[in-house]
Each structure stands twice: as C-alpha cells, then as structure tokens.
Homo-oligomer: A and B are copies of this chain.
Amino acid sequence: MSKARAVPEPVTKLVEAFSRLPGVGPKSASRLTYFLLRAPDEVSLKLADALRDLKTQTRYCSSCYNITVEDPCPICADPRRDHHLIAVVEEPLDVLAIERTGSYEGLYHVLHGAISPVNGIGPDDLRIRELVRRIEKGEALEIIVATNPGLEGDATAMYIQRELNNKGVKITRLARGLPVGGDIEYVDAVTLSRALQGRSEL
C-alpha cells in the first residue's frame, strides 16, 4: 500500500530530475512526467538529446564569455559590429534582450552573475578579471555597464568602474529608464532602447 509501490522507479527518477529545475515543484514535476508518459516517444527523446547537446556542443566565447558553439562567438567575430564598444551584462539572456532592441551595434561581455555578498558571490566569481584584461588590450573605447538596476547590479557596476578607472576607457551606464528592482531580460524593447540611447557617464 506504500506510495513507492504504485510508482515505478523510472517515473520517480524523472519527477526528481524535473524537481531540481527552478520553479518546478513536485506537483508540476509529476504533471510533466505523466504528460511525457502519454506523449509520443519523440517528445521525450528530443528533450533528452537537446539536454545532452547543450552540454557537449556549447562553450563560453573566450572573448566575451557568451554561450557559443564556435569560439569566438558570431558577435565577436563579426567585423561589421563596433569593436570599440562593449556592453557588460550579467547573463547571456541579457545579451538577447539587448539584441532584440536592434539598436546596439557593439560587442558584449557576460559576467555570469552579479556581486552578491548574501549569496557569497564576490568579484572573483564573475568574469571581471577577464573584462579588465580585455580592456587592457586596448581596442575598446567605451564600456556600457548594463547590469540589472538593483542593489547587486549597482554594486557590480561600482566595482567595475573602480577597476577600469585608469584604463583610458569611457564608462557609461544604461539610463535610469529601467524600473529599479526589475530584471533586464523582462524589459520591453522600446524602454531598453531608450535606456541605451540615454546612457550616462559613470
């Protein structure tokens, strides 16, 4: 009569694996699992393949640290883009958000997080040292610090400003058209586009 007897192991294993994803509770994990049990095999197998390929076929661009298949990534390798301009963002999804505006022609630098003492994330856990080295190579003229408008994003921006202070680059920040406490990837393209245009010097 125990619960375990009614649920075969492959089912509980998939429920557990789904439960480890953010925003997926045990109920949704069961739902997804039982959906897949009834769906054509192809749905599960495509998802399984995509999960493997994500890990085996992608890497970080050695220049901007965005996710990429080829190194350098297509953005860094594109001669038509402005290589003197670098937008520093927290996450790869922020790159997407800025690309969607269609009003940015420069390159990126993905930090993979923000400074957060509460979560034990310091500057050394981010790609800040790599950013400094990239600036020291001398090609960049302007750095747009496009971290999220909030405590952690602001702390990260201030840290970056201090680190790049004497490197001879102009440091700007996205205009405060962004709602404070918000998240860059959810901002609509028009607002984000305005924030790019109205960027202010740090």
Contacts and interface: CB of A to CB of B under 8 A. Distances in A.
Contact of A10 (B3, B9, B30, B53): B53
A92 B67 CA distance: 40
Report the contact-size class of chain A (Cβ under 8 Å from the partner).
Answer: 35 or more
Contacts of A11: 54, 58, 67
Interface string A25-56: 00010111111111001011111111111110
A36 B178 CA distance: 27
A10 B69 contact: yes
Interface in A80-131: 91-93, 95-96, 99-100, 102, 105, 112
A1 interface: yes
Interface stretch (A16-24, A137-145, A164-172, A191-199): A16-24
A74 interface: yes
The copy count of this chain in the complex is 2
B46 A17 contact: yes
A94 B172 CA distance: 58
Given A17-B46, A34-B91, 18 more contacts: A1-B99, A5-B78, A5-B99, A6-B66, A6-B99, A8-B68, A9-B69, A10-B58, A13-B54, A14-B51, A21-B35, A22-B31, A23-B31, A30-B93, A33-B54, A34-B93, A44-B51, A47-B48
7 contacts: A5-B99, A10-B54, A17-B47, A22-B32, A30-B93, A30-B96, A36-B51
